[in-house]
Structure 1
Amino acid sequence: MQKSALLVSVALVLTPVSALAREAVFVTPEQSEAILIVPPPPADGSEAHQADLARLHEIERTRTPQQEEAARADAGNQTIFMFKPLFGDVFSEANLPLTVALARRVFEDAKVNVGAAKHLYNRKRPYAADPTLHPACPTTPKDDSYPSGHSMVGWLLGLTLVEMVPERRDDILARAAGFAFARNICGVHYPSDIEAARALAYAVHGALAQNPSYKTELAAARAELRKALNLPETP
């Protein structure tokens, strides 16, 4: 058995049954090599870990009530509609059934792939490691901080959307970055959790781009979205 397949197999054996409830649609963790792409998180007490905590304390000191409110809203919206502010009211489920259907399937792949790494590393949440932090969003008792699942979803959906509307690439990726940073504003993820999610999202997206089913669904969703936005078929 190849090293990547062996490592994934070990990770899945160690994963609780509840974490295996989801199934990949287009790309499995073995195909994306999720647990090879993401290095181990900083060890507790290490210099890198202390830097992570220091950054969170800095964010906590400087975050505004408005930022906290926006971060809580993002915490409750892991859908393609996190990007609605970029496109307006036309960006709705009623107008974009194919786009929404594809986004839901990409969401599943995001969760399955990030889950493989989460359950391999079992990193404590920052507020569990440092009780002097004061999270601004709902917390969880699970040791599953690394990588950030919300950030993974935001980046992977953003990269999918960039393929549909490349003209808005910068805006889309800026929104994905802001959605990810909201997890730091919340105080529920370390900065390194966010960085790992971004790296993993790009790796999974690269694998998605090679999947025939994904490419077929993407082409249909892209045509639908561009028509709704009154954009030419080819940018």
Structure 2
Amino acid sequence: MTLILMARTIACTLTSFLLLYSPVTMAQKLPVLEPPGAAYQSIAVLSSKPNEGRKELDTIRYPWAEYSKGALGNALWRTVYLLPADEAQLPGLIQFPASSSDQTRAELDYLLKLQNSRTQQEIDRANYIANIGSWPNILNPTDPDYQANREQLYYILSTATGKQYDYSQYPATTTLLLNCIQDIRVTEFRLKQVFKRPRPYHVEPRLQPLTRISSPSFPSGHSLWSYTEAYIFAELFPQKRQDFIKVAAEVRWSRELLGIHYPSDNEASRVIGWHLLKSWYKNPRFVADLKKAQMEWSSK
């Protein structure tokens, strides 16, 4: 009997080891990226090339004076799971339309329409979402933002399920999410430096943004973390994938309602988020950390 128990223990230990450290990745099992929503598709079919009749708009740049030191410094962090070769490919996956293009004109008209129809309830919701978003540099437990910063890692999951989760009860998942958010933030600010797209309110003076942001427009940081985290949680709870994406879509909408992001900024973030997850699967460290998180939830 003792030998049987020992054999079972060894078998379980070996299985756990293989689950955690197997070099085989699951990138090929990723769900395909959903197509853009119908509203964006109707805009994306328009020309993204410069329009000679509005060529002066293409001379507008993101004002250097508005660029914060923090936004510049965030690009200097190191990635955790994202490998350099994969990061180098990200800028080639996205491109914003020329400021003078028919597509940008349609996006600006859409933002003006939102501005003219937004309700106080919608504004309050968008402002609430604006304060969501974790940062990898809040590491000191005595920092007044430490707890909220970790709780917000679970925003997508909590909103989709209607439940609150104590991050301290899920250490493997929290570690995974903290490492992912570091990659997300580095990616966000490095891409912003590459493209330096002016904000919508720099191009369209009739826009009255409800806040101003101290970094370029493309891609959207809020949409990047929300969609990427939606894809991560979908790896933990595949049956809730569309629920998570729905929450990310609300975050996306909030940035447009505030008048601070073009729809194409948000669409680029959705695409980059999916490619981040695909790239992470090439890194055995991510695969091991994800499997630890999956085992953590299966044991609850």
TM-score (norm 1): 0.82
| Distance (Å, rounded) in 2 between the aligned partners of 1:169 and 1:218 | 16
Correspondence for 2:208:
134
CA distance in structure 2 between the aligned counterparts of 1:151 and 1:112, rounded to whole angstroms:
14
In structure 2, the CA distance between the partners of 1:105 and 1:128, relative to structure 1 (3 Å rule), is: same
Q: Output the amino acid matched with 1:18.
A: G
Take 1:156 and 1:35, find their aligned partners in 2: how far apart are those partners?
17
User: Displacement, 1:95?
Assistant: 2.1
Sequence identity, in percent?
Answer: 26
1:27 is aligned to 2:97: no
Aligned to 1:48: 103
User: Secondary structure in 2 aligned to 1:114?
Assistant: helix
- Unaligned regions of 5+ residues in structure 1, if any? 1-15, 229-235
Q: How many angstroms apart in 1 are the aligned matches of 2:129 and 2:83?
A: 26
Is 1:207 equivalent to 2:279 in the alignment? yes
1:162 Cα offset (Å): 0.2
The aligned residue for residue 102 of structure 1 is 176
Secondary structure of 2:167 counterpart: coil
C-alpha displacement of 1:146 = 0.5
Task: Map Cα deviations across residues 117-164 of structure 1 (whole Å, 9 max, x no partner).
Answer: 21111011111222321223x31243x101111111111111010000
Once the two structures are TM-superposed, the CA of residue 90 in structure 1 deviates from its matched residue by: 4.7
The correspondence for 1:75, drawn from 122, 125, 130, is 130
Aligned mates of 2:79, 2:191 — CA distance in 1: 14
Which residue of structure 2 aligns with residue 93 of structure 1?
A: 167
**One-letter amino acid of the structure 2 residue matched with residue 111 of structure 1:** R
Aligned-residue offset at 1:17:
5.8
Structure 2, unpaired ranges of 5+: 1-70, 134-151
1:177 aligns with 2:177: no
- Structure 2 Cα separation of the partners of residues 93 and 149 of structure 1: 22
SS at match of 1:25: coil
> Rg bigger for which structure?
2
Is the CA contact 2:75–2:190 (under 8 Å) kept in the aligned structure 1? Answer: no
Structure 2 Cα separation of the partners of residues 17 and 147 of structure 1: 15
How far residue 92 of structure 1 moved from its aligned partner, in angstroms, is 2.1
Kept after mapping to 2: 8 A contact 1:74/1:82:
no
Shift of 1:226: 4.0
Structure 1 runs (4+) greater than 6 angstroms displaced: none
Aligned to 1:94, the other structure's residue is in SS state helix
Is the alpha carbon distance of 1:141 and 1:172 closer, same or farther for their aligned partners in structure 2, counting shifts above 3 Å? closer
Amino acid corresponding to residue 38 of structure 1 in structure 2: I
CA shift, 1:98, in A, is: 1.9
Counterpart-to-counterpart distance in 2, 1:211 and 1:198 = 21
* Inter-CA distance 62–31: structure 2 relative to 1 (3 Å threshold): same
3-state SS of paired residue (2:100): coil
> Matched residue of 1:188: which SS?
coil
1:110 shift after superposition: 1.1
Q: Distance in 1 between matches of 2:200 and 2:72?
A: 25
**Corresponding residue of 2:296:** 224
TM-score by length of 2: 0.65
Q: Does the residue aligned with 2:169 lie in a helix, a strand or coil? A: coil
The answer on whether the counterparts of 1:56 and 1:184 sit within 8 Å (CA) in structure 2 is yes
- Kindly report the root-mean-square deviation, in angstroms, between the aligned alpha carbons of the 2 structures: 1.9
